A and B are shown apart, each in its own frame.
Chain A
Amino acid sequence: MKRFIAILFSVIVVAGVPLRAETDEEVEAHKLVLDLTGAFTNDGFKLRDGHWTGMVKPRERALIAVNLYAGNQYWFSAAANSKAKKIAVELYDETGRPLTTDSYNDGERASAGFSPSSSGQYFVSVGLLEGEPTTFCLVYSYK
């Protein structure tokens, strides 16, 4: 984990969502993350019908803004294709303060669970800890 501290605070900036077909790598990452979220669905979590796919490089992170409601429980899950050896999902509050989450890591798949006590904006970070530049897919479940 110490290596993760050294991750540069760089992000993939994606301006807008171009209208295009998903690449094979994006489809693969999406499929992998949906497999992971099955466990949450079995536990009563609803999978939001929406996802984000992007690229992440070693020692970089992708940062995605989400808006959460106090009282709900959330699991944020990401999966990358086989070029990734280890990814991490972390959560930050609206001021950028890191949050303590339940977490699950399985190489190229990871999840972070959180129950906000305050409604508002939060940030989900998907970082590539080990491996080559890769495509990842992020989804979330709530109940």
Chain B
Amino acid sequence: MIFRVPLAALASLAFFSAAFATEPAPLPPDLLATAIKTDSLTIPTPGELFAALEKPGKPDWAGQYRTPIPMTYRNRAQIALNLGGLIADGFIAVEAQDSQQVKNIGTDIIKLAKALGVSENVLSRGNSINEFAENSEWDALQEELEATQNEVKSSMQSHRDQDLVILVSVGGWIRGTQVVSASVIKNYDEQSAKVLRQPAVVNFMHSKVNDVGEELKNEPLVKDVSTQLMAIEKLDTFQAGKAPTLDEIRKLNEAVTKLMEEIQNKADTK
């Protein structure tokens, strides 16, 4: 049986449960350290980041576009990192409600995904992205991009490319942070600046990058990503509850921009 709970009903039940609730005890640090961390829930999607940034006012998303990236990478790690960045670009184009840009990026996503040999399911999503973009179905497009990202990752896992999955997430987070920090610098306000505090995400990604197989870990680009993530984590560790200053955001933006350029342009050294 399909059970749908109206939100109003949830709200009234919320009062009911609050009336009987007893404050739970705090959790000790050793317990927190054992919490499950998973790519599918622990790393936020670019859509969540951009939704938070839009609360104080819609940023100039189109002003954050970048020139098309090469489609000729041969190194699989570099392809995975750039694929993540491209998916973040797709979210930006959706936020900008720019059909043509969404279609262009959708085409590039499929090209890079093909280069990694992902499944036919992913490739068929290219058609859906085009169709939703034609019809300006922005909510559906955002869901489709998220689903495409997950499909790419699950296809990688089934092709025994698990180690590349985290690189897609890293690429997406770096590009998303580059765009959001640039947007906050352009029009600083404390509410928007607060979204940039995510040290635990960087820490998680860094530890996952360190866990990849030896061969991949020794690739120059992956080594650089690992080293720079450590520095980025420090730059992103703003005080809880307090908005980072413009200067702090500038430093973070410089660091992620440098890393994004390297991900995009580093010559294949393998």
Contact = CB atoms under 8 A, between A and B. Distances in A.
A24 interface: no
Nearest to A12: B36
Contact of A138 (B14, B41, B53): B41
A50 B150 contact: yes
B105 to A, nearest CB: 18
Contact of B157 (A19, A65, A118): A19
B6 to A, nearest CB: 6
Nearest to A140: B41
Contacts of A135: none
B17 interface: yes
A6 B162 CA distance: 39
Range of interface residues on chain A? 35 or more
Interface string B196-215: 11111100100000000000
Contacts of B5: 36, 38-39, 104, 106
Interface string A28-53: 00000001101110110010111110
B42 A67 contact: yes
Majority secondary structure, B binding face: helix
B24 A98 contact: yes
Interface residues of B, number: 66
Interface string A79-99: 000000000001010111110
A35 B32 contact: no
Contact of B195 (A5, A50, A69): A69
A120 B31 contact: no
B34 interface: yes
Nearest to B49: A69
Contacts, number: 192
Majority secondary structure, A binding face: mixed
A117 B243 CA distance: 10
B43 interface: yes
B195 A71 contact: yes
B229 to A, nearest CB: 15
B176 to A, nearest CB: 11
Interface of A: 1-2, 4-5, 9, 11-14, 17, 19, 35-36, 38-40, 42-43, 46, 48-52, 54, 62-72, 90, 92, 94-98, 100, 102-106, 111, 113, 117-121, 123, 125, 138, 140, 142-143
The 10 closest A-B pairs by CB, nearest first: A50-B40, A69-B52, A121-B200, A96-B27, A71-B55, A63-B35, A102-B14, A70-B194, A39-B5, A119-B197
Interface of B: 2-7, 9-11, 13-14, 17-18, 20-29, 31-32, 34-45, 47-49, 51-53, 55-56, 139, 142-143, 146-147, 150, 157-158, 162, 191, 194-201, 204, 240-241
